[in-house]
Amino acid sequence: MKKIILLSAIFVLALNVSAQVPFSLTEGECAIVYALPKTEICIEVQTEKVTQTPGMFYRYSERYLGTTKVITTEKTVYRLKSLMVKPRAIPDPNRTFKFIQDKNSGSFQLSVNSQGLLCGVNVPCQPEAKPVENSTIPPIEKTESPSLLPLGEEYMMAGSEAKLAEGAAKQIYHIRESRLGLMTADVDKLPADGASFSAMLEGLNKKESELTELFVGKTTTETQSQQIILTPDSAMTNQVLFRVSALRGLVAADDLGGSPYYINIKPTVTRVVAADSKSKPEVAALYTILPAATQVTIGDGINTYFSGQFFIPQFGKIVPVSENVFKQKNLKIRIDQQTGRLLEIE
């Protein structure tokens, strides 16, 4: 497995199509350079972070709220939530070629995109996919502790945690009584309309939830997204792609502190038989690729989290386009810039 971090920029020109030679550009030479694609596999890994925080009055939850289902210790746990896999074409430096201008050949416009990937002849390039952004972890929103006010002087001057817990519990009961009065219309003055009623009820529910968390604790769930970019050059069988630690989330493949997740890449071998094997091979003017259908699966050895098939050009075969094709008038050749496959000649 090889990862390509940086590729040299390949300039974009339009010159006359002529004889094809392997890429070896000398200074001052008049030629156009193009590259056939190879596929990067962009894997977006989403992990779920669950944080449990005990409330400051958890010791008094059974006494004042009658519940023992409380969080007593601070704890953070990570788990794999989902996987998303997308292929992306990049120039293949091992399949980079040049055209040398030939005065005797017809005039054709070779189309390449901003990366230097071949798009075709006398046709515009397809819109390019947006670049994959660097992985980011969303910032954690800070939440303020709920206010215990209004508490009377009796509670504020007591200086006792148990007394403060008693005051907070009384607030909870008072909120519940107020909500019950609203819902049964057992109040002196009802809200003017339905929107006001909903807003008041929502405010009471929020305040009760905040105060209850002081006793039973709080559970916060966050989703974090990170990306892994893999450029396979050969088949893979049960290769460790990444690991997930219950305490630290997504970690590197060689970090034994996490549970492993494996990737399998299995290209299909395509056999191409020439129509007439006795005919003399023609000189190639352009190169394309017959990409290989490749099955990609990711799992933990028991469960499969992703399974899909992609056409990957680096596992495929180079297919030459004869110079004789370029003798046609009003020639148009369309090539899939993602896989390098010849789509159409007209």
User: Residue 108's pLDDT is what?
Assistant: 73
The closest of 308, 320, 318 to 339, measured between CA atoms, is 318
pLDDT at 277 exceeding the cut of 60: no
Per DSSP, the three-state class of 165 is: helix
Backbone angles phi, psi at 296, to 5 degrees: -120, 125
pLDDT at 89 exceeding the cut of 90: yes
Cα 118 to Cα 289: distance, rounded to the nearest angstrom: 11
User: Residue 23's pLDDT is what?
Assistant: 54
Token digits of residue 125: 């390039």
Backbone angles phi, psi at 114, to 5 degrees: -65, -20
* Cβ(87)–Cβ(338) below 8 Å: yes
User: Residue 272's pLDDT is what?
Assistant: 58
Alpha carbon dihedral 18, 19, 20, 25, in 10-degree steps, equals -80
User: Residue 166's pLDDT is what?
Assistant: 86
What mean pLDDT, rounded, does the chain reach? 79
Cα 98 to Cα 48: distance, rounded to the nearest angstrom: 48
Q: At a CB cut-off of 8 Å and minimum separation 6, what does 11 contact?
A: 33, 116
> Please, what is the end-to-end C-alpha distance for the chain in angstroms?
39
* Cβ(93)–Cβ(115) below 8 Å: no
For residue 92, what pLDDT band results from cuts at 50, 70 and 90? very high
Q: Taking the complete model, does pTM exceed 0.95, yes or no?
A: no
For residue 33, what pLDDT band results from cuts at 50, 70 and 90? confident
Please compute the mean of the pLDDT values over residues 154-160 and round it to a whole number.
Answer: 63
For residue 8, what pLDDT band results from cuts at 50, 70 and 90? very low
Q: CA-CA distances (angstroms) from residue 110 to 115, 117, 342?
A: 14, 11, 14
Cα 71 to Cα 50: distance, rounded to the nearest angstrom: 13
pLDDT at 10 exceeding the cut of 70: no
Please compute the mean of the pLDDT values over residues 180-186 and round it to a whole number.
Answer: 78
* Cβ(36)–Cβ(287) below 8 Å: yes
**Residue that the structure tokens 């670049």 belong to:** 131
Token digits of residue 193: 């309309």
Token digits of residue 272: 């191409």
Read off the pLDDT of residues 191-240 as tens digits, 9 standing for 90 and up. 777 788 888 888 888 988 988 998 999 999 999 999 999 999 999 999 99
- Give the domain ranges of the chain: 20-48+80-137+222-345
Helix (H) or strand (E) holding 42: strand 31-53
